Structure 1
Amino acid sequence: MRIGLVLSNTPAYSETFFNSKIKGLLEHGVDVRLYCQSKKEDFTICPVFISPRVSRNPLLQFWYFIKEFTLLLPHLPAVFHYINLERKERTGFLQILKKTYLNAHLLKAKLDWLHFGFATMALGSETVANAIGAKMAVSFRGFDINVYPIKHPDCYNNLWKQIVKVHSISHYLYKKAVGLGLSSEIPFTIITPAVQIETLPSFKETANNDTIKIVTIARLSWIKGLDVAIAAMRILKENDIKFTYSIIGDGDKNHTERYKFMVYELGLNDEVVFCGKLPHSETLEHLSTADIYVQPSLNEGFCNAVLEAQAMGKLTIASNVGGLPENIVDDKTGWLFESQSSEALAKKLEMVISMNAEEKNEVSKNAMERVKKEFNIEKQMKEFLEFYNLE
């Protein structure tokens, strides 16, 4: 079997979801090929096919067009089929020409499955799988279902008609996609992110001192709810709780300045540390020394960071939104708080801080055991094999 996976870029070393999936399929004799807009030099797991280049220079772009359409000549049956499918969708001639060029790397493929790693990656390529005689699969991962359709209503109307099978990282995202028009008759599978337990730093009991170390791993973006967490830290300080709050991640200049100004205005410069973006290994080492992990997001498809925090036995608090209630078992492997409420988060933090060692250890143990049992790489791989009907 040959599977083509469409992503914007080849996955980085830390992107275990895609890397483990590709490696697992290869180990089971599947021919996996990646179709991307760019390739990292250190990626050598499987063959990579780069999408046609786009240039602002009209002469250079004309040359790219001629070159790409020449390379498509041996694949004329697929190209003609694609053009006919697009004409049925009432796509205009110039738009068909443009889409044929942009999808040239896919139209040359000989695949059994064409799997788009995000729903947004399938936009503009909805009929390609049909044109090349492959089955079309799409993954729902978060932004593609939570945010993109808000800005672009009905953007997936054509996509819903072409999908053969759906993969979602959470029940929440799948149900939201159905609300956006996906037919409930289309087969779907929930395959959550998984944790490579053996690569994580071993569980460390935090130092027994008066200063609580709290950590969040997130982009400095509005949807991550960092303003909620920062405001909660102000409440902790007012209640004479000694703590440090480390935020690991970066973002655009506007959001970064906004959060840093908020910290300054609330008098939290001594407590809140912006660590910036760190390598995955350094991020995990940072997390291993934390007392509490906080995920204050306004929405999440599932959230790998929350899963890794639990896998490392960290006391984890997250907002009760999106796929997070599927990630955490409230009051057993961690705690959920009312979204967008800094008061609710502060109250939950104070409750966790006041727990005795035995109670904290019980939650840590529950979290580690659940992740090891339910969110391991082996289980994820078995589910993907079943997804492609290989089991």
Structure 2
Amino acid sequence: MKEDQFVVGTVKKLEFVYGMDVLIKAFSLAKSQRPHMNLELRIAGGGSQLAELKRLCNELGLKKDDVKFLGRLEQEQVPAALNDLDVYVAVSRSESFGVAVLEASACEVPVIVSNVGGLPEVVADGLTGYIVESENADALSRKLIKMMDSKQDARFCMGKAGRAFVKDNYEIGHTTSIMIQAYKECIRIYDCN
């Protein structure tokens, strides 16, 4: 990424449920508020909405240099793609759990997520990133602008806090012990019946 560039991105399937249209609208709003900034949106993933999302970009006056559709990435390509972002965005309309958000946080990338499903569980609002109302492009654009306007040190601290959050709450040894305890409790309850 270039020194004067601010890169917003996501790695998700291009399906309605993942709110890519909301992300594109919010990016367009943010870009119009900060015309002097070198902003780029990178969307990695394949799916049925690619043509529709490209059409939306055209309708909003966004150019190919503004929004880059990277296609589907292999799993081993994801960390490098995440490390090239200034902020990761996941504004799904529905989501069971935020694995992709945890991956971004583990790469020390601050995140912005919608307040649906398990996404709020994987973000410490204001510390590791921000939580916004679902399907609200205005709210998302305000948080994007806040990230853009913040000093790089503040984003760096958010990224560091995100990695610590992942290690403290989702490290394999920690989650394994929680699962073992849950299994033991199920066995105890089942044995009592």
TM-score by length of 1: 0.45
Distance 1:265 1:214 in 2: 20
State the 1:220 CA deviation: 0.7
State the 1:282 CA deviation: 0.8
Instruction: Specify every segment of 5 or more residues in structure 1 that has no aligned partner in the other structure, as ranges.
Output: 1-205
State the 1:219 CA deviation: 0.7
Matched, 1:250 2:68: no
Instruction: State the secondary structure of the residue aligned to 1:267.
Output: coil
Matched, 1:259 2:53: yes
Distance 2:153 2:6 in 1: 17
State the 1:236 CA deviation: 2.2
Instruction: State the secondary structure of the residue aligned to 1:238.
Output: helix
Give the counterpart of 2:82 among 283, 287, 292: 287
Query: How many residues were matched structurally?
Result: 182
1:1-20 deviation per Cα after TM superposition (whole angstroms, max 9, x unaligned):
xxxxxxxxxxxxxxxxxxxx
TM-score by length of 2: 0.88
Amino acid at match of 1:369: A
Match of 1:273? 68
Give the counterpart of 1:298 among 93, 111, 115: 93
State the 1:331 CA deviation: 0.3
Match of 1:361? 156
Mark the structure with the bigger radius of gyration.
1
Distance 1:362 1:289 in 2: 17
State the 1:272 CA deviation: 0.7
State the 1:341 CA deviation: 1.1
Amino acid at match of 1:387: A
1:281-318 deviation per Cα after TM superposition (whole angstroms, max 9, x unaligned):
11211111111111111121121110111111101111
Higher helix share: 2
Matched, 1:222 2:16: yes
Distance 1:364 1:278 in 2: 23
State the 1:270 CA deviation: 2.1
State the 1:327 CA deviation: 0.9
Matched, 1:232 2:17: no
State the 1:357 CA deviation: 3.0
Matched, 1:311 2:116: no
Report percent identity of matched pairs. 32
Give the counterpart of 2:7 among 213, 236, 252: 213
Instruction: State the secondary structure of the residue aligned to 2:116.
Output: coil
> Any residues of structure 2 matched to 1:1-391 within 5 Å, and which?
209-239=3-33, 240=35, 241-252=37-48, 255-268=49-62, 269-389=64-184
Higher relative contact order (CA closer than 8 Å, sequence separation 6+): 2
Distance 1:237 1:215 in 2: 14
Instruction: State the secondary structure of the residue aligned to 2:126.
Output: coil
State the 1:358 CA deviation: 3.0
State the 1:359 CA deviation: 2.1
Amino acid at match of 2:110: L
Instruction: Specify every segment of 5 or more residues in structure 2 that has no aligned partner in the other structure, as ranges.
Output: 188-193
Q: Give the RMSD, CA atoms, in angstroms.
A: 1.6
Amino acid at match of 1:245: L
Instruction: State the secondary structure of the residue aligned to 1:264.
Output: helix
State the 1:263 CA deviation: 1.2
Instruction: State the secondary structure of the residue aligned to 2:142.
Output: helix
Instruction: State the secondary structure of the residue aligned to 1:243.
Output: strand
State the 1:271 CA deviation: 0.8
Amino acid at match of 2:170: F
Does the C-alpha gap of structure 1 residues 263 and 293 become closer, same or farther in structure 2, counting only changes over 3 Å?
A: same
Distance 1:357 1:257 in 2: 34
Instruction: State the secondary structure of the residue aligned to 2:101.
Output: helix
